[in-house]
Structure 1
Amino acid sequence: MKDLEYIVNGIIVEDENKAEQDEARKKRMLASAFVMVRNKTGMNRKEFAAWLGIPYRTMQDWELGNSQVPEYVLRLVAYKVMIEKERGNI
């Protein structure tokens, strides 16, 4: 049986706390990944936000885990950083 699951009347029920913990873990992982991508540029938050055209507060919330960066945005930002580094632009 998986962690935090139990059986009620023959039905496996997942603990709601596990789902919340999984979501919080995912948010932290995405936040860390975003910070790692930014760190590859050597830019601080303000510079990086301006370079990307993303509001500073939005990016700050992503990095602090207050809100979740959409995965597609993280992939696009990582791709942009990779391309610009290859071109020698950052």
Structure 2
Amino acid sequence: MEKLIDCQIEIKKLREATGMNRKEFCECFGIPYRTVTEWERGTRNAPDYLLRLLAYYIRMENMVKDTR
């Protein structure tokens, strides 16, 4: 159960850091909308390697939006 909560929090943090809504995030990364929705709701778990790859890509491509 803890793994699902970690995934749920992490995927939402990554998406929000980019300033994208769920639809934009899905289109940008080629992930089905339903899959991301299930990850964020905690009904399904993303693989750890995928979360690390997304975080790395977002950081390296300077996709993090300034929230000021």
Same fold (TM over 0.5): yes
Equivalent of residue 5 in structure 2, options 25, 28, 35? 28
Count of residues in correspondence between the two structures? 63
Partner of 2:62: 85
- Give the aligned partner of residue 31 of structure 2: 54
Structure with greater contact order relative to length (CA < 8 Å, sep ≥ 6) = 2
TM-score under structure 1 length normalisation: 0.66
What are structure 1's unaligned runs of at least 5 residues? Answer: 1-23
* 2:53 counterpart SS class: helix
Amino acid at match of 2:53: L
Deviating above 2 A after TM superposition, structure 1's stretches of 4 or more consecutive aligned residues are none
> What corresponds to 1:43 in structure 2?
20
Question: Identity over aligned residues, as a percent?
Answer: 43
> How does the TM-score come out when normalised to structure 2?
0.86
Name the structure with the higher strand share: 1
In structure 2, the residue matched to 1:10 is none
- Which of these two proteins has the greater Rg computed from alpha carbons? 1
RMSD: 1.1
AA at the equivalent of 1:82:
R
Post-superposition CA distance 1:4-37 (Å, at most 9, x none): xxxxxxxxxxxxxxxxxxxx12111111011101
1:39 CA drift (Å): 0.8
| Runs of 5+ unmatched residues, structure 2 | 64-68
